[in-house]
Amino acid sequence: MKKLLSLCLVFALALSLSACGGSSSGSSSAPAEKETAEAAETADTEETMTFIMGIDPEYPPFSYMDDDGNYTGFDVEVCQAVCDRLGWEMKIFTVNWDQKLVQLDAGECDCVWSGMTILKSMKESGYVLSKPYFYNTQVLLVKEDSDITSSYDLEGKSVAVQLGTSGEKLLQEDLKDLADTFGELVTCDSFLKCFTELDGNAVDAVLVDLPVATAYIADHEGFRIVNEELGAEEYGIAFRSVDQVLCDAVEGALADLVADGTYAQIAAKYPDIVDNLLFLNE
């Protein structure tokens, strides 16, 4: 038993060491603490600061790859406008969604900004979180000819959800009782797979963020959204616990963009989500 315990310790140590190694090499150009944020904002004699935006590249319409292979989306465009305003150089880092906070801590990106639901656990863990900018609900996406009209019809059915999304979280916590009635809960590592499972009749419904569902049915025939809101939530931007200054700079720039109308211009390109943008409806 003692041997096993020491083995566990060695293993844990190796893991933490490799995590440290990753962070030190990953952040050589991006210091874990963005002390220069304010300086860069005010004095243009300083070297241009690089701001690394962490996104899930498969999360339209907030962040995705366009037809030309470039990352775009509402969040990406807003971030670009913020960086332009602050004179920062913007870089994009695609996070592994279920490891996004670890990657943020490791300095691989300076924020996670990608239709991210603000969770209580993030606040508790000390992450600096921006003011929420989007109001969201989870909905069920089903096939057009499905007999599912509310969450009560899910008993014994197969439901897909993306790993690491608020939908998954919801089913594990607030809606656990509902999840227990499912025949099977299938956790996919991307929305594309959730939808493929649905279209291929492997699952009966997908629990997904409203804007994602709306955007999907706009492009694909044969699906409908079940008219029931399951769990409200808000989107925000996450920064490392030491980066309050950085958060303030971004929020300041965001306020400016809202004030001068740039924000509304960008939002107009994304009709699926415009109604739920909090800054425009204040």
Partner 1 sequence: MTFTAMVLKMSEGLGRTCAIFFLTLLFSLPLGMVIALLRMSKNRVIAGITRFIISVLRGTPLMLQLLAVTYGPYYLFGFNVPRNKLIPVVIAFAINYAAYFAEIYRGGIESISKGQYEAAEVLGYTKLQTFMRIILPQVMKRIMPSVTNEVVTLVKDTSMAFTVSYQEMFTIGKQIANSQTSFLPFVVAGIFYFVFNALVDYVMGLIEKRLDYYD
Q: What residues line the site for partner 1 (CB under 8 A)?
A: 7-8, 11-12, 15-16, 19, 98, 101-102, 121-122, 125, 158, 160, 163-164, 168-169, 172-173, 184, 186-189, 193, 196-197, 199-203
Nearer to partner 1 by C-beta: 7 or 268?
7
Which is it for strands 58-59 and 63-65: parallel, antiparallel or unpaired? Answer: antiparallel
Nearer to partner 1, 149 or 172 (CB): 172
Distance between CA 82 and CA 60 in Å, rounded?
Answer: 20
**Rounded least distance, CB 236 to partner 1, Å:** 16
Whole-number minimum distance, CB 144 to partner 1, in Å? 16
Q: Which is nearer to partner 1, 8 or 259 (CB)?
A: 8
Residue 186 or 278: the one with the smaller Cβ distance to partner 1 is 186
**Beta bridge mates, 54:** 93, 112
Between 108 and 272, CB nearer to partner 1: 108
Pick between residue 159 and residue 250 the one whose CB is nearest to partner 1: 159
CB of 66 to partner 1, least distance (A): 22
| Residue 189 Cβ vs partner 1, minimum distance, rounded to whole Å | 6
Least Å distance between CB 121 and partner 1?
Answer: 6
C-beta closer to partner 1: residue 12 or 232: 12
14: left (phi over 0), alpha (psi -120 to 50) or beta: alpha
To partner 1, the closest distance from the beta carbon of 94 in angstroms equals 17
Nearest distance from C-beta of residue 258 to partner 1, angstroms = 31
